[in-house]
Structure 1
Amino acid sequence: MNETAEVSNVIAERLHLATGFLSSERDWVVQRLAALGTRLRSFRDTQIDLEISLKERHGSGQQVTLECWISRTPRMHLVATSTARELAAAVNEVRDDLIRQVDDAKTRTEPRNGHVRRPPQYPADQS
């Protein structure tokens, strides 16, 4: 299986469509969120739970919310919201915001500058 299909499977397997989305829209939503899967691949599939919801579809107060729970120590709960009037734009906006949040969370939990500390190198004795 190629990497793109594996990434999409993570989203498809772990995404729960909550209030406001129809089950017939599932494939469309999974495709829209596929870019998020590349950021989440550093976690085991079982560590990730995703939920997307939509309030007041086509209304002036339409709001899309994407939540991500990552089970690790400590457990992370990331939330992205959008009030964009067009549904596709709103889903893209919450995806991009959650990508940013995942990147920020990874940066905070990784070693400083992403480098492993190495012992100092001493010049050889010239006796």
Structure 2
Amino acid sequence: MNEANEDPTVIDRRLHLATGFLSSERDWIVRRLAALGARLRSFSDTQVELSISLKGRNAVDQRVTLECWISRTPRLHLVSTSTALELAVALNEVRDELIRQVDDAKTRTEPRNNRLRRQTQQGQA
């Protein structure tokens, strides 16, 4: 990912560490997820909530889950998971999957890709 687009402060303001992560790991996790910040920057801080959890640390069934709630109509609840055994790889996987989901959600709701919204906005102009 292009580091110029990575803004860890966007993630830091919105991220809640849930089960399985230590508070001492927060900065490292925020840096790993920083590329997601470019996708979330278009939403205000009050519109986005992020939560990351880890179950079964260092076990064969380890699972990292990254959840994102975006307050809009309708409210979005996006979830990405990874079962990679290496924690850094798992964080990269959940980040990349959530980026894809946010991009898909934005595409579905933009007027140019939604005939009904496009007609409504043209009627207002």
TM-score range, shorter chain: 0.7 to 0.9
Mapping of 1:71-86 within 5 angstroms? Answer: 71-86=71-86
* 2:43 aligned partner: 43
Any runs of at least 4 consecutive aligned residues in structure 1 with deviations exceeding 6 A, and if so which? none
CA positional deviation for 1:4: 5.9
CA distance in 1, matches of 2:17, 2:43: 21
Higher gyration radius (CA)? 1
Q: CA deviation at 1:54?
A: 0.2
Q: 2:87 and 2:57 mapped to 1: Cα distance?
A: 8
Structure 1 SS opposite 2:68: strand
Give the paired residue count: 115
Aligned to 2:67: 67
Partners of 1:69 and 1:113 in 2: CA distance: 22
1:39 shift after superposition? 0.4
2:88 is aligned to 88
TM-score (norm 2): 0.85
Residue in structure 1 matched with residue 97 of structure 2 by the alignment: 97
Higher helix share: 2
Q: Secondary structure at the match of 1:98?
A: helix
CA distance in structure 2 between the aligned counterparts of 1:28 and 1:83, rounded to whole angstroms: 19
- State the secondary structure of the residue aligned to 1:79: strand
| SS of residue matched to 1:57 | coil
Deviation, 1:112, is 2.4
Please report the TM-score for the alignment, with normalisation by the length of structure 1: 0.84
Q: Does 1:9 align with 2:32?
A: no
* Alignment match, 2:31: 31
Paired letter, 1:75:
R
Displacement of 1:59 = 0.1
Unpaired runs of 5+ residues, structure 1, are: 119-127
**Cα distance in 2 between the residues matched to 1:8 and 1:92:** 14
Q: Among the aligned pairs, what percent are the same residue?
A: 73
Letter paired with 2:19: T
